[in-house]
């Protein structure tokens, strides 16, 4: 067991940072890493690139990545009545939006996304698709002018939900990918066997935009992406459609929508987990995509692997992960990084 300080994860999850507006998350991460005596710099896109010396020089130059941004919303216009029109940033199922409470802009103005009272809603409307253009954020403004005193169009909007880490699981927003950032921080905290680059990337949710630049700068030979991925275990969903399950260890990808992962590294992950009695599962489904898609091709080819903390309800106001999975993902990430760094690159 490695002691995990859940207060750090809590701080990371409760901080707002939609794609393109990751600075507060980055500050929180810098607060942590400045205690570990490591070098870092922030690149032009906002990626946080951290280098930590290990006891040995690596034979393969390794970069470990997690993204700082989360899905959220952006204010697109203000109505005459003072309601805020908005769009989603990153892939959000519009159907989760009614009834949510949100925080807007730097001053974290609270707002809510309402819905017409059921008493006034025809049955046909209840069973029809929700158009985002029919949804608004209500901040209680009197009118447009009043709203403009507090809000600018373009302001970021994040879900306002609580963090609960009781009963062996964590219920929180933004676990995708603050869980990954948290694992990187826990690796950085330790004495390393080999020199390693850690990058906290921006703009993953709007098309893997930060990771490519960071990878170009670092120029790694190999990379491990630490992510959160879909666990889909609702009763009625058959086993083969579950992608992965919480509590069964990190999910390792062989292929997704943007990456064909390094086959040898995939097998290395499986065998290391087996040897060290760490729970592991393949990500069963060619779904989604992550920073690996950009890193993989940023400067020639980078051998890339992704391991993910299984997370239910990604891209909503409250995902669920299992604490043991965090432990297992961290253990596996450490073993993999040491093994890859110690091998002659080929």
Active-site residue list: 204
User: Which residue number, 152 or 241, has a Cβ lying nearer to another protein?
Assistant: 241
* Three-class secondary structure assignment of 198-212: EEEECCCCCCCHHHH
Q: How far is the CB of 155 from another protein (least distance, A)?
A: 15
In this complex, which beta carbon is closest to another protein, that of residue 55 or of residue 239? Answer: 239
Smallest distance, another protein to C-beta of residue 235, A: 5
Name every residue whose Cβ is closer than 8 Å to that of residue 26 and which is 6 or more positions away in sequence: 17, 42, 46, 48, 68, 200
- Rule CB under 8 A: which residues touch another protein? 83, 93, 95-101, 109-121, 126-130, 134-136, 138-142, 146, 150, 160-162, 164, 166-169, 171, 232-237, 241, 246, 312-313, 316-318, 320, 322
Min dist CB 251 to another protein, Å, is: 17
Q: How far is CA 69 from CA 13, 96, 109, 175, in A?
A: 11, 19, 20, 10
Residue with smaller CB distance to another protein, 66 or 97:
97
Tell me the β-bridge partners of 63: 197, 223
Nearer to another protein, 113 or 333 (CB): 113
Query: What is each CA distance from 234 to 117, 121, 251, in whole angstroms?
Result: 28, 29, 18
Residue 22 has φ and ψ, to the nearest 5°, of -95, 5
Structure tokens at 89: 């940033």
> Is the bond into 219 cis (omega within 30 degrees of 0)?
no
CB of 140 to another protein, least distance (A): 3
By beta-carbon proximity to another protein, the closer residue of 123 and 277 is 123
Q: Where are the alpha helices (DSSP H) in 106-255?
A: 123-126, 144-148, 175-189, 209-218
Closest contact distance (angstroms) between CB of 306 and another protein is 22
């Amino acid at each position: 067991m490695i002691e995990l300080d859940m207060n750090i994860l809590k701080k990371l999850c409760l901080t707002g940072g939609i794609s393109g507006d990751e600075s507060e998350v980055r500050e929180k991460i810098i607060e942590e890493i400045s205690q570990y005596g490591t070098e870092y710099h922030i690149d032009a896109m906002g990626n946080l690139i951290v280098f930590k010396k290990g006891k040995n020089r690596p034979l393969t130059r390794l970069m470990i990545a997690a993204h700082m941004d989360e899905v959220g919303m952006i204010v697109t216009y203000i109505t005459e009545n003072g309601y805020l029109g908005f769009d989603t940033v990153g892939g959000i199922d519009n159907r989760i939006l009614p009834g949510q409470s949100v925080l807007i802009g730097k001053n974290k103005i609270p707002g809510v996304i309402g819905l017409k009272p059921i008493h006034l809603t025809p049955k046909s409307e209840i069973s029809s698709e929700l158009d985002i253009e029919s949804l608004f954020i209500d901040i209680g403004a009197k009118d447009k002018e009043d709203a403009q005193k507090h809000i600018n169009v373009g302001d970021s909007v994040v879900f306002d939900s609580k963090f609960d880490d009781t009963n062996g699981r964590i219920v929180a927003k933004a676990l995708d990918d603050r869980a990954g950032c948290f694992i990187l921080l826990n690796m950085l905290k330790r004495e390393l066997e080999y020199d390693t680059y850690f990058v906290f990337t921006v703009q993953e949710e709007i098309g893997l935009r930060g990771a490519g630049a960071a990878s170009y700068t670092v120029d790694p030979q190999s990379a491990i992406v630490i992510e959160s991925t879909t666990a889909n275990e609702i009763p009625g969903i058959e086993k083969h459609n579950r992608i992965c399950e919480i509590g069964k260890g990190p999910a390792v990808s062989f292929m997704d929508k943007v990456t064909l992962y390094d086959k040898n590294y995939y097998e290395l992950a499986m065998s290391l987990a087996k040897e060290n009695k760490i729970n592991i599962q393949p990500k069963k489904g060619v779904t989604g995509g992550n920073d690996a898609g950009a890193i993989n091709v940023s400067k020639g080819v980078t051998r890339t692997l992704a391991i993910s903390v299984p997370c239910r309800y990604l891209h909503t106001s409250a995902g669920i992960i299992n604490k043991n999975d965090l432990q297992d993902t961290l253990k596996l990430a450490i073993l993999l990084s040491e093994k890859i760094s110690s091998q002659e690159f080929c």
